[in-house]
Every structure is written in C-alpha cells, then in structure tokens.
Structure 1
Amino acid sequence: MAALLLALSVPATFAAGSDGVSPSTTDAVTLYAGGTVIDGTGAAPRANQDILVRGERIVAVGPHGTLEGARAAGVHTVDLHGGYVIPGLIDSHVHMATPPNAKRAQAILRRNLYAGVTAVRDMADDLRSVGELAREARAGEIPAPDIYYAALMAGPDFFADPRVGAASYGVTPGHSPWMQEINDKTDLREAVTLARGTSATAIKVYADLPPELVKGITAEAHRQHIMVWAHSAVFPTRPADVIDAGVDVVSHACYLAYQLEPVMLKSYEDHTPFHDALLAPRGDDPVIAGLYKDMLKHGTILDATGSLFVRYDAERKAHPDRKPLRCTGPTTTRLVRQAWKAGVPVSTGTDNDGGVDQVWPSVYDEIFFLAHDVGMPPLEALHSATLVGAQAAGQAKDMGSIEAGKLANFAVLSADPLKDIGNLHSIRLTVKRGHEYPRADYKPVTREEMGHDDDD
C-alpha cells in the first residue's frame, strides 16, 4: 500500500521515464527515404539512404529499401530523394540572458531552429531565465534548440562587471549559485555543489583566477561529474596552465596567443591587445604548437569563436573609432588554422546572436569562417558544427551524428553542402527530437521581438 501511495503521489512527469521526462505521447514511426546522408562523423556521404525514426530517436539508417519495419502499417514516409541530410547544427557559444529578455531569446532560438540548429551551449547568463528557456525548449513549448548551460566562477575583481549585475539581479554579485566569486578561502566542494544545483551542464571558469584555483575548481568539478568550460586564458592564468588544469573546452582561440606575451596581463579587465609580432613570422608558431600538443593530450576542445574577430575587423574599417579586440582577424584565423592542422577538435561557437536584420543564425558565419578563412573542407567544417559541438556540450551519446539510437536531430538541404558550404541556405526542413520544423513555416524575427536592435 505504501508503494502504491508513493507512486500515486509522484507527478506523472517524473514517474513515467527513467530520465525524469515523460515519454513522447506518440511512438509514431517516420521513414525519411532516399536522401544523401552526411552523418557528421567525417565519413564520406552516402547516397540513397533511409532514416527510420520512432518517436524522438533514430531506429536505423541504411540503403534505401533495406530497413526492417520501414514498410509496416502506419509508417509515414517523407521522400528525400535529391536532398541532403546533415546532423542538427550546434552553436557552442551563445548568451541567452545577459540581461534576461525572454522575448528576444525566443526569437533568436526560433531563427536557429528553423535553420537547422538543434542544440546550443549557453556560456553563462542569468540561469533563472536560461533554465526556463531550456525547459520550454526541451518540452517543445517553444520552437528552439535544446540548451545546455554553464554556471560561472571567477575571481573577486570580475564581479564589478555590470554584466554580472544584469545577470544576477536581486542577488549580491558573486553570491548567486550561477555566478560565484571564488577566492582562496572558498570551499570548492560547496561551490561546485551549488553550481550543480542550477542544473548546469558545466562550470565556466571565466576570469581573474590564479592557476591553483583554476586547477582546484576543475578537479572538484570533475570529482562531482560536471564538465568545465573555460576561457583559454583566465588572466592572470596563462593558457598552458588552463589546459594543464584539465578543463574540457577552452573558448576563444585569440586568448591562446597570450601564452607568448613575456608579461601576462594581471586581470581580465586589462584589454591590452595581443602583440602580433610575437608570433613566428612564417609557418606554425612553436609555442602555440606546444599548447595544441597539450590539448591533444588532455582531449581539450577548442571553441574558437573566430568569425567574431574577423567580422569586427571589417566593422572597424567602417568605424575606425572603435577600440580593437584582443586579436585581429588574421591572427585569430592563423591560430585556428594551426589548431585544425594539428588535429585539435574545433567546435563552432559564435558568441554573437546577430541582429534583427540577420536572416540566418550566427553559427552559419562560424561554419563559413572555418571553410573559407581557415580552409577546412566542408565535410570537416560540418563535423565541427555537429559531432564536435555535441562533444563540447557533453551530449555526444545523444546527438551530433546521424546514427541509430541517437536523437532524431537533423536538417534536410536541397543542395549539396560539400560542393558549396553556402548551400546550407538551401535548408527545407529541420527535425529535432523527431518533430518537424519546415523552413516554409519560419516566421522571421521582428524588431519588436529584438528590442534594442531597433536603435542599431
């Protein structure tokens, strides 16, 4: 009787599935028939393939007409002959809530989803807002990619940053579970436990921390089975020490260059640009090569955010009064190219949501940067935007490639992206967790939704 009462007292949402989420209300089976599959693993494309989907997962992938169960009664068939199927794209560096603006965030997420983006990695915001967006996206209440997010940790000096106040309104800066001030007296076990309580996927190690605290946070986070995402330089901690701490992902290829500076910047708040002349004049830089060797040893992923720096360079030509970023576009491109050639996995993070006039998601810019500026073949650029992105978010067991058992997250294109990566613009359908979002149904973001972009 006690067991029966307990079962009755548990909401159905939690009693229904082992992962705490109710199973889909439908086990509908759909056959996506005859498309050319680019599976995200880096393997060559396979023509005339079928993808069998039950509910939110892929049941099987194989040559057209060969899949068991594909002709059973009730199977809905979608003809993809002449089309190209890629895994859902992943933007590994977004900010959805600094400050929180749910209407704007939902508009940007909608633009992402209808262009083939099925997951994003939020890199520290007001997690009260981000958590709700993630829940709505996961439940299908809003058209949006799934969201995986980080709780931030930084040194005391960082918490004078006005962005912290905007993202922790109502709480003393540095004392919220999602944005914590860390010093040598902090109980790291408690700090990591508080961060985990936000349902974050990872801790983001941001700024103004010495090497011993970067290492300590990382060790404790991994002990508690939570990922660590970090800036590639945590000023005053050099890139080599960040990498050696064992973080899972480092963001901003530009910051890696500070390993060459004879005197490291003492704080994140010092925005002195990297001195380009410190790089080797030709070929690969040997110091940077050492960093990449260590990244390969540790299995560290590079969230490059390269298109941001290239675009800003172009904008400064029209607005020379703007202050430079930490790196020029050419330096950033060179660093990412060396990482790619060294075999370091590079994900497609943007750190930019685009304005109201941008038709396509910012992750397209990062993919085009990898293909056009860095020189990656389109097949490798798509691998970065899919499976590497899934690895960066800690979700590779469920997404990032088109394989049996994984979520039915993919995009259907009318033209071959391997002939021209610009053919991403030919998207006609996004499938996320087995639910279809035809491009023809997309409602462009509006100025009213985007708020302050009206003044741009």
Structure 2
Amino acid sequence: MIKYIISFLLLAPVAVWAQYKPGLLVLTNATIIDAEHRVPLPRQTVFICDDKISLTFTAGEHTIPDSAIVINLGGKSLLPGLVDSHVHMATDPSGVDNRAHTLDVLKRMLCSGVTCVRDMAGDGRVLAGLARDARLGEITSPEICYSALMAGTVFFSDPRTATSTRGGINGKMPYMQAISDSTNLTLAIAEAKGSGASGIKLYANLTTGQVNRIMTEAQKQQMPVWGHAWLQGAGPSDLVRAGLISISHVPLLVREKAQIPEAWKKAGHNAAYWDRVTPDLHGLFDLMRAHHTILDATLLTYKVWASQDSAAIWDYEIGKRIVARAYRAGVAICAGTDDDQEKFVPEEMRLFVTDAGFSPIDAIIAATQNSAAAIGLQGRKGLVKAGMDADLIVLDADPLASIDNITKVKLVIKGGRIYNR
C-alpha cells in the first residue's frame, strides 16, 4: 500500500517547524510553474529521491512504487525554491548578527519559501559553520552559499571589516583580503577557495587592471567572481567586460555615465522629473546581454532607505526606472534583498512587478533560475526537472494571477526535506 503523510501536513502544531526526509517522496497532481513552464503545466507527478528530483511526468505515465511517501497537492502550484542572491548574515557575529538572531532570520526565510541564499561577505568562519549546519538539516535554514571578499587596501578602514575579522588580522583573512598590485593572486584566490566560499565578491577601491588580473586567476582556479557594479577604480562596463557573473546594486549603474548630482538628493521631485533625469544606459544593457551578466538589483533595500532618508529617495526612483529599462532590454535580473531581514525575496518580487513592470512569471524567474545562475548554480537549482536539487515550494494560490500569492506558502521542500509549520 502506498504510504501517505497527510496527517503530517495537517496536524503539525502551527507554531512549530517540523521536518521529515523520506527516501522516496512523490508529489502528485502538481501544477508546475518555472522558467521552462511559463504557462502552468497541470497534472504533474514529481519523484524526489534523497535530495534530488529524479523524475517528472504527467499523471498516469508511470507507476508509483508502493514504498513511496505520497503527497497529493490537489492541483496547487509547485515552484522551484526561491533563491535570495544577496544577503548579509555575519557582518557582526558578536553583535547584531549573533547566532540567535541569525537562526531566527534563516528560519523565517525558509518559511517564506527561500531555499538558498548567497551571503555577500561577512565572517567566513561563522558562515562556514552555518552552511554546514544548514546542509545537514541541523538548523532550519536555506542552503547557504557565501562569498570571500576582495577589495582595495583603502576599504579596510571600514569598521564592518573589523567586526567580520574579529580575532584575526583585518584584510589578511582567507575570506576577506586586501588587494594591491603586489598581492600574490594565485595564493589569495587559493586561500579564498579554501575558506569554503562559493565565489569571490569584489567590493571597493579596485582598479580595472586589478579586476582583470583577479578574474584571470579566478578562472584558472574555477572560482566564480561577482561584485558591486562600481568599484571606484573600475566602472560597470569594465566589470561586465572582465566577466563577473553578476553585478550588484542598480543605482551604481549610474556611474557608467556620471557622478550623482546634488539636485537628486533634494526632496520634492515628481515622477516626470525622475523620468527625465534617469540616464540612458542602453549601451551598458547591450554589453550585459552580450556577456550574460546578471543584474543583482537589490530594489527592496533602496525602497527601505528611501522611506527613512529623503536624500536616498533618488536611489530608489532612479533605480527602479533603470531596472524597468534593463528588463525591457532583455538583461537577466536576479532577486536579492541585501540588508533587509524582515520581508525577504517575495517582497523584492512584488516590487519587480508593481514598480518595474515585470510580469509575474518573470519575477518568479528572477528569484529562481536567474538567482541560481548568479551564484553559478544554474545546473542544480531554479527549475522543477529531473537532476535538479529537490528545492521546491507549494503555494495555496496561483502566483501568475497575482504575485502577492507568492507569500501563500503551503509547504517547503529543501534538499528533499519536507518543512511544514
């Protein structure tokens, strides 16, 4: 007799997270929505063996083994797990990013449907431990991929670098290194890779020449590189030409054209003003398309900043217009929330639709396939298909009818583990 776990789904206490990992899990009567199914595909069955999707097919095409644990989804939407391409979990592990706070944030992220995150530089020692615990299911958390940071020596006066390297030497930790023209990049990148980082983040105060040398050595060592869209010395197009997988923070793209006018920082401008002053970046967009560079926009954090500081309104007003234009120009855009630890990726997706003109399906692709690609995980995550990681979410309502339905998460599966509240 086929086994069912309906009681597990319905009877788990509301305030308690439960997890269960069967050897063979079968989801039936699913409606798949992903980058390869922009039009929903109903009546699908998905086999999950251990931590991978092993088979997908239309109902009735294959026999379900008697040994399987089966969940009938009743036609509900089945999506790839969401990927947050830009978080910060360990900037100050002895302070605001203490373990209790971080575990709470990670649990709430998973609850929202986020099954994988890319941490964009913090204390690599702490991140390595969190990543290990998340992978083994010892904490309730998305999978954690983290960055090793490289920046110019000037940047290491920033107090955040001191809190992220406490107990070590600032600028000389394998996961956070000061780079100069005399740096042994073969060793520096080998150390970054040895720290367990998934890639290198280029942050600030680097020249175009330094970026190109880092990229050349990183490619030799098969280490992905991403970074801020402007590094003071190197501009957006320099970074695109160098081959960064993704570039972060949409307002920084303005640096391709000009400095920031003081007039932008004054309150009282209307929509027509922002439409008029937003720079034309179509040349950069063409270059990004040609190099398959992904824009890590981080719109949500700029929306929050704009609500707190009138001088930061320009970041969001200009930023959302650039995102909208990049989207129309065919630039791949991923979904990252930066330092917001309250609303998570579903809110970034909503802003893509309401403020940047995305269709709901393209907002979903941004937070799944594109965000996975921004981390170099496009072969593992971001689609509901055989061979991919078993990272999935089940929704109670159709997200294509309204992107707000992305918040109506019924069930989360991460690495083949079923999580239910």
Judge same fold: TM > 0.5, yes or no: yes
What CA deviation, in whole Å up to 9, does each residue of 1:332-355 have, x standing for no partner?
Answer: 00111111111111000110242x
Is 1:79–2:72 an aligned residue pair? yes
Runs of 4+ aligned structure 1 residues displaced above 4 Å come to 271-277, 279-285
Are 2:308 and 1:315 aligned? Answer: yes
* 1:433 paired to 2:415: yes
Q: 2:361 aligns with which of 353, 358, 379?
A: 379
Correspondent of 2:54 among 38, 52, 59: 59
- Report the AA paired with residue 77 of structure 1: V
Deviation at 1:314, TM superposition (A): 2.3
Superposition map of 1:14-93 within 5 A:
28-41=23-36, 43-66=38-61, 68-70=62-64, 72-93=65-86
Give CA-to-partner distance per residue, 1:387-428, whole Å, 9 cap, x none. 111111111111111001111111001100100111122211
Identity of aligned residues (%): 35
**1:178 maps to 2:175:** yes
**Mapping 1:243-392, distance limit 5 Å:** 243-261=240-258, 282=276, 285-286=279-280, 288-316=281-309, 324-325=311-312, 327-354=314-341, 358=342, 361-392=343-374
Query: Does structure 2 conserve the Cα–Cα contact (< 8 Å) formed by 1:39 and 1:403?
Result: no
Using the alignment, how far apart are the partners of 2:88 and 2:227 within structure 1? 15
1:201 aligns with 2:183: no
Q: Are the equivalent residues in 1 in contact too, given 2:306–2:313 (CA < 8 A)?
A: no
Q: Displacement, 1:202?
A: 0.6
Q: Distance in 2 between matches of 1:222 and 1:407?
A: 25
The aligned residue for residue 20 of structure 1 is none
Cα distance in 2 between the residues matched to 1:381 and 1:114: 19
What residue identity is the alignment partner of 1:103? A
Q: How far does residue 74 in structure 1 lie from its aligned partner after superposition?
A: 1.1
Give runs of aligned pairs for residues 120-269 of structure 1, distance below 5 A: 120-261=117-258
Query: SS where residue 39 of structure 2 aligns?
Result: coil
Shift of residue 76 of structure 1? 1.7
Structure 1 residues 156 and 284, CA, compared in 2 at 3 Å: closer, same or farther?
closer
Counterpart residue number, 2:14: none
Matches of 2:43 and 2:136, distance apart in 1 = 33
Higher fraction of strand: 2
Structure 1 residues 157, 376: closer, same or farther in 2, change over 3 A? same
C-alpha change, 1:112 and 1:273, in structure 2 (3 Å) is: farther
TM-score, normalised via structure 2 length: 0.88
Cα-Cα RMSD: 2.3
State the aligned residue count: 393
Q: Is contact 1:368-1:422 (8 Å) kept? A: yes
The alpha-carbon deviation at position 188 of structure 1 amounts to 1.1
TM-score normalised to the size of structure 1? 0.82
Q: Kindly tell me: are residues 384 and 212 of structure 1, through their superposed partners in 2, closer, same or farther at Cα, counting changes over 3 Å?
A: same
SS at match of 2:38: coil
Change (3 A) 1:208 1:391: same
Q: Structure 2 vs 1, CA of residues 91 and 418 (structure 1 numbering), >3 Å: closer, same or farther? A: same
Give, in angstroms, the shift of residue 284 of structure 1.
8.2
